[in-house]
Amino acid sequence: MAKAKQGLTYAAAGVDIAAGDVMVRSIQSMMRRTHSTRVIDLPGGFAGMFRLDYNEELFRRNYRDPVLVACTDGVGTKVKLAAEMGIYDTVGIDLVAMSVNDLIVQGAEPLFFLDYLAVHALDPKQGEQIVKGVAEGCKLARCALIGGETAEMSDVYAQGDFDMAGFAVGVLELHRAIDTERVAAGDIVIGIASNGLHSNGFSLVRRVVEHAGLDLHETHPELDPDRTLGEVLLTPTRIYARPIVRILRRYKVKRIITGMAHITGGGLPGNVNRALHDSVDAVIDRSRWEVPAVFPFIQEHGEIDADEMDRVFNMGIGYVLIVRPSFADSIVRQLRRLREEATVIGVIVKGSGKVVLK
């Protein structure tokens, strides 16, 4: 009797539904740990549900003129470094940070987050580590992870490759939205420290590693004697949502914060300028903060021009607030009590919308 011919299968084409089911079951508890009472439990649902207004007395949240704020971002080629190192739980934190740090610039409170993961072939353990990082990022940002999607695309991604995208939604009262037109000469620029490269410039960083023949698995005492170079480079982006939201809530009447900026690709010159209008400049004094060792390390080994460093990297300042001068010292003290390294780094002067580094 002739043996029956084996037909084509989805698994043979590169998509393993069973592996996807295993991963979904493994991450459900992580997602639930990020949920507040405002998340509506929907077993088997095809989308996440979140209450905007919530009337139960203990958890009351009501808005007079609410505006939803949404943004999306990825981690860039930092995912290549994560794959090379086999470390997957930090880039999930990066993914949340890149969106929620943008969200709070508008004055919004993060509400919920969704993630998208694309892979060559799904490895449930790898996927679980990635989502573990996303869940940790959501807890740090105090937003709920209410859904996501994983796609196996072996024809698009090479073996071991993956990519990520994140989507954050927040809310603000319309009259509290940050308005660049309110920035005035005499306002003070406050910088909050980054904890390294964050998630920008990694195409250049990886080129430096290759150009200089650096070993990602070696330690460099000037960076960190206890962590390898690869681990240092994978330090996750700092999430600023908690301290910024807390400070915004403390000033419900007085609008003392006139501008904010998340310092990503483009550095201080390419991001602080977005918080300015055309009649003012921000003059920033480089001597006011210590540049983390990873930046001169990258600059030296890549023989990178100083101006290029300023254009690509945050250079030690991950977030900027522009505040009325009489409140600057108080804001710095509050940020430090919230365990942020904050310092006055500059002043607003009359100008044409530029950032001047001196």
Strands 144-152 and 109-119: parallel
pLDDT given for residue 27 in this prediction: 67
pLDDT band at 40 (very low <50, low <70, confident <90, very high): confident
If one compares 5 and 39, the residue with the highest pLDDT of the two is: 39
Contacts of 217 (CB under 8 A, 6+ apart): 228, 229, 230
Query: pLDDT per residue over 246-265, tens digit each?
Result: 999 999 788 999 999 999 99
pLDDT exceeds cutoff 80 at 30? no
Radius of gyration of the chain (CA): 22
pLDDT given for residue 285 in this prediction: 97
Query: pLDDT per residue over 297-340, tens digit each?
Result: 999 999 999 999 999 999 999 999 999 999 999 999 999 999 99
Query: pLDDT per residue over 109-129, tens digit each?
Result: 999 999 999 999 888 889 999
Per the CB < 8 A criterion, the answer to whether 274 and 105 are in contact is no
pLDDT given for residue 37 in this prediction: 76
pLDDT band at 168 (very low <50, low <70, confident <90, very high): very high
Class of the domain covering 180-357:
alpha beta
Least confident of 9-18, 189-198, 258-267, 335-344: 9-18
CATH architecture of 17-41+65-176: 2-Layer Sandwich (3.30)
What is the overall mean pLDDT for the chain?
91
Per the CB < 8 A criterion, the answer to whether 33 and 135 are in contact is yes
pLDDT exceeds cutoff 60 at 2? no
Q: Give the mean model confidence (pLDDT) for residues 157-178.
A: 93
Closest residue by Cα to residue 184 from 357, 325, 345: 325
* Alpha-carbon gap, residue 231 to 227, rounded angstroms: 6
Q: Give the mean model confidence (pLDDT) for residues 194-216.
A: 96
In the sheet that holds 144-152, the strands lie side by side as 66-74, 162-173, 109-119, 144-152
Least confident of 37-51, 68-82, 250-264, 265-279: 37-51
pLDDT given for residue 246 in this prediction: 95
* Alpha-carbon gap, residue 206 to 302, rounded angstroms: 10
Distances (CA, A) of 181 to 127, 271, 353: 44, 16, 11
pLDDT given for residue 10 in this prediction: 58
Domain ranges of the chain: 17-41+65-176, 180-357
Q: Do domains 17-41+65-176 and 180-357 have the same CATH topology?
A: no
Q: Give the mean model confidence (pLDDT) for residues 18-47.
A: 73
pLDDT given for residue 47 in this prediction: 82
Query: pLDDT per residue over 126-167, tens digit each?
Result: 999 999 999 999 999 999 999 899 999 999 999 989 999 999
pLDDT given for residue 45 in this prediction: 74
Torsion of CA 316, 217, 93, 235, to 10 degrees: -20
Strand partners, 192: 319, 342
Sign of CA dihedral 265, 270, 273, 278: negative
Query: pLDDT per residue over 89-103, tens digit each?
Result: 999 999 999 999 999
